Amino acid sequence: MNLICESSNLEDYLIELDELNYSNPIIEEKVNELFNHEQKEIEKVKIAFEFVRDEISHSWDSQRTKVTCNASDVLKHKEGICYAKSNLLAALLRSQGIPTGFCYQRLMLFDTPEKGYSLHALNAVYLNSLNKWIRLDARGNKPGINAQFSLEEEKLAFTVNEHFDEKDYPIIYVKPNSKTITVLKVNNDALEMYKYKLPESI
């Protein structure tokens, strides 16, 4: 799909936010562990993506109730839903001067429209060496979901089915959607939140 940048200024996709608190000591420690000066940009993106995808549990998959939001909390507790995991990936990459934004899909929450819809978060990353944006979904893999780092063909966690009123939003946002942050901040049970409280659309 043709991605559309919310801002034409790449610097906007490097800003530190409350939710992307990459100056926090726990983030800085992980940054020093993951990255070094010899790594190229693409290598750093792949390392960060695979770390968040594989080492941070998706709350629904693990069936744990802890709700995380800010990147430092996601890293500290090593869990979160897609909204939280996308915050951590953005924080790690922005700390390295790699522009990273937020993208969204409207998906069926479970397996049929009758069970409702939810807004799903993923990231878009600008690769200066290739002069292009790519989308990455660090939600976490499991049977039936196989998101991968790919420079040529998108390999996301979910394929949108427009027949079921699912939607791929083309905009690369500078900040995480306010609805996604609010739902993380006002809930304290991740499983109940996931089933009943997630926003359905942008």
CATH of domain 4-196: 3.10.620.30
Does residue 45 contact residue 124 with C-beta atoms inside 8 Å?
A: no
User: How far apart are the C-alpha atoms of 132 and 153, rounded to whole Å?
Assistant: 13
Q: Say what the pLDDT of residue 25 is.
A: 98
Q: Say what the pLDDT of residue 171 is.
A: 98
Report domain extents, the chain: 4-196
Confidence of residue 144 (pLDDT cuts 50, 70, 90): very high
Strand pairing partners for 80?
58
Overall pTM surpassing 0.75 (yes/no): yes
Q: Say what the pLDDT of residue 169 is.
A: 98
- Any idea which of 44-48, 73-77, 108-112 has the lowest mean pLDDT? 108-112
Stated as kind and residue range, the H or E segment containing 133 is: strand 132-136
